[in-house]
Structures are given as C-alpha cells and as structure tokens.
Structure 1
Amino acid sequence: MTDTRDDNYAGVYDRKAGFGRRPALVMVDFAEAYFDPACALFGGAGCESALASALRVRAAARAAGVPVILTEVSYPDGRGLTGGRFWEKAAPLEAFVKGRSTARFADGLTPEPDESVITKQYPSAFFGTSLAPMLTAMGVDNVILTGLTTSGCVRASCVDAMSHGFITTVVADACGDRHQAPHEANLFDMNAKYADVVSEAEICAHIAALPRAAG
C-alpha cells in the first residue's frame, strides 16, 4: 500500500502554536522584481494575489496598532560581495542591486513613516539583521509573516522566527511563489513543524480582536 501525506503526518505534527499577545507583522520582500514581466523573478498571479492580501492584512494591523516591518533585499553594487555564496548560487539576485527598478518596493507598497524597513542580503529576515533584537525590545512575542516567496525567504524567515523564540504565524493568502506546487508544499511543511498557517480572514479577525494596547 502506498502511504499518503496524511498517513505519514496525521497524529504526528498536529499541534497548534496559537497566537501571542503582542504581535508584529513582517512583510517579506515584496519587491518589484516579482511583478516585472521582464525580470527573471517574475511571479505572476501568485505574487499579485499575495501582495493584495498582504496589503489588507497590513491595513488591519495598522488599524489595531500592530507594528509593521518591511524587508528588502539590497546589494550595493553588481559584484554582490555582501551576498556571498547566496549571490554566487542564485543568479536572479542581480535584480536587487541597489538603484535598479526591480529592487524597489512593489507598486502599492510604500513604507509609512512609522514602519521599520529591514535590509537583508540573505533569505531570512533575521540572518545578519537587527530584526530579532528589535522585536524583543518592542515586547513582541508573535511574528506574523507575509511575503515572497513562500519556498524561499518566507520559509527561511519562518524557521528563524521560531528559532529566535517567537510564536510564528504564516498567512497563506498573503504569501506567494512562482509556482503553486512549492507554494503549497512549503505551507504544508511550515504548518507541520514551525508555525501555524492561517488564512487572511483568520488573521484579520484575530488582529481586530486584540486590545488596542497591543500596538
């Protein structure tokens, strides 16, 4: 008999992490690169729907006083020295050289004055950045993740968020990838091991129910 996914996982990875009391929304790498058809990283409909969802989650977070953090990938020049082995391996990272149109935030996503921007060179929003200590100083116990791409920087950020001690929530509708298969597979795996994967409706309802002081 051939084992199915449910046969292998049911009763093994069924635990829920739940929500924390003081969340922050992290929007991972919503860069123009994923929305420019001429760019090798173009993600099409999956990325477009993720951005639309993430903007609605962001509006809910801002209305509730939940902190919002945006991340960007940026390399100071075409040599990619700050990207190290990641730059050597992943040729499309050239889209994130500082000053290129593909490196800017996607249309519709302009950082507000009270929103922090974390600049990174590697997949995780936490690796080599000040994100973890900043969240800790803010008293955050729950990281809500949205972003691009599900199988890349969202997943890496998810694992590191959990590893840094934050309850981690991934908003499925607000994450996107260049192909549905890796998107779904990584959501499944993150939900099994590292985070709770929830819908846009679920996270917005949770945020709306938070005491206003949570911000």
Structure 2
Amino acid sequence: MAVPEIFDISRQNAPGHYSPSQTALLLLDYKALVIGRIGPKAEAAVKEAAKMRDWARSKGIVVLHALVDFTGTPPFDTTKEFDRLSELTTQVKREGGGEEPAELLQGDGDVEFNRRPGYISALQSDGIKKFLQEKGIKSLLLMGLSTGGCVLRTALDAAENEFVVTITRDGCADAKDDVHEFLFGKVFGRGDFVVTGREFRDGYDRLQH
C-alpha cells in the first residue's frame, strides 16, 4: 500500500483520517528477556519504539504498554504451550527479564495493560478493549516483539474488532529472520497498513486534523 494512501484523510479505513485523540500507539512485549533472545535487531526495534513513543506523546496520542504478565496468574490450562510458558514464568520469577528496557520506561499519561501467559493478542489484556472504546480510539499503531507472535496476532485481532491497524516494520523483530521477512513481505499489508516509523511520523505530521 502506497504511503500517501495511508494519510488520505477522506478515507475512514486509513489512519490519516483519525485525529490524535482517536489514535493509540501499542507497544507490545518489549521485555528484557525477549530482547536478549532476539539480539541486535530487537535492540534496534526498541530504539525505534522509543522514538515513536516520544513523538506520540508530543502529538497527544495515547501510549499503551501491552505486556504478558509472567509474575501473576499462571498460563491457562488448555493452552498448547502450557509447559513452556510455565517454565518461562518460573524463570522470570527467579531470574527477572520480565521488565521493559530503560528506553521505554513509562511516563506520565502512558497506560499499562497486562495479559495472562497463553494469550498472545494484546486485545486479550485485561480492560484494554473497554479503555479503547471509552476513549473513542479507532486507529491503532502497532510495534513490538515478536513479529510472528504478538504483532501478528494483535494485528489480526484488531482488524476483526474494526480498528484501523498500522504496523511499524522497523519497530518489530523476530528471533527467526525468515518469519519476520515473510510476514512483512507476504502477509501484512492486506488487512492493515505497513510503514517505517519515520514514514508514519513524517506523513502524520503533515496532516491537518
């Protein structure tokens, strides 16, 4: 999808149609443990997420941190990954790694939503759908770790919940490079929009809402 079409304010299915008060930035699972496993590409994604977070705050766009909570309720019994997630929960409780990096420390106005291990889409986080509805949010800007996990599942879930969805390519990373490249090359861009962080900031800044 061409970038100019994303910022066509006349189209209700384009992010450019919606004002900052109708837009939310979702930062998905930027956790130290995940960053360490993915490596440099995750670190680069964190830097882009920090830029986007600062820009969003300056525009009056609400910033949401949507995180799996490995310190609270255990995984639900029927998830196929129960054993792996249980081991991971034990590891995080013992060794740490469930926190966000310093670059993404939450500031005034940021809101955190947590979800139980086993739920992958951020829209399964406790209270997030009610929050988005009450705030009148229509457009979601997604970035996070990992591309094949929470980013994919949140994008699909959000589109079917009637949100306009934009995914920031350079704000995402995956432990498997081929998964990241396949999703951005073959999957994303059908039910959502794909841009770089700079493209979105520059294009949105030119709009008059």
TM interval, short-chain normalised: 0.7 to 0.9
Question: Aligned ranges for residues 21-170 of structure 1 at < 5 Å?
Answer: 21=18, 22-36=22-36, 42-76=37-71, 80-82=74-76, 84-85=78-79, 87-88=81-82, 90-91=84-85, 93-94=88-89, 97=92, 100-121=95-116, 122-170=119-167
- 2:82 is aligned with what amino acid? E
Specify whether residues 110 and 95 from structure 1 end up closer, same or farther in structure 2 by C-alpha distance, changes over 3 A only.
farther
Cα offset, 1:99, TM superposition: 7.2
Gaps of 5+ in 1: 1-14, 37-41
Could you say which residue in structure 2 is the equivalent of 1:10? none
Conserved 8 A contact 2:142-2:165: yes
**Partner Cα distance (2:26, 2:169) in 1:** 14
**Partner Cα distance (2:165, 2:48) in 1:** 18
Deviations 1:57-77 (A, max 9, x none): 111111111110001111346
TM norm structure 1: 0.79
Could you say which residue in structure 2 is the equivalent of 1:11? none
Number of equivalenced pairs: 192
TM norm structure 2: 0.81
Question: Aligned ranges for residues 195-210 of structure 1 at < 5 Å?
Answer: 195-210=192-207
Cα offset, 1:113, TM superposition: 2.9
- 1:150 is aligned with what amino acid? T
- Greater helix share, structure number: 2
**Partner Cα distance (2:126, 2:147) in 1:** 20
- Superposed CA RMSD in Å reads 2.5
Could you say which residue in structure 2 is the equivalent of 1:18? 14
Cα offset, 1:210, TM superposition: 4.8
Specify whether residues 206 and 98 from structure 1 end up closer, same or farther in structure 2 by C-alpha distance, changes over 3 A only.
farther
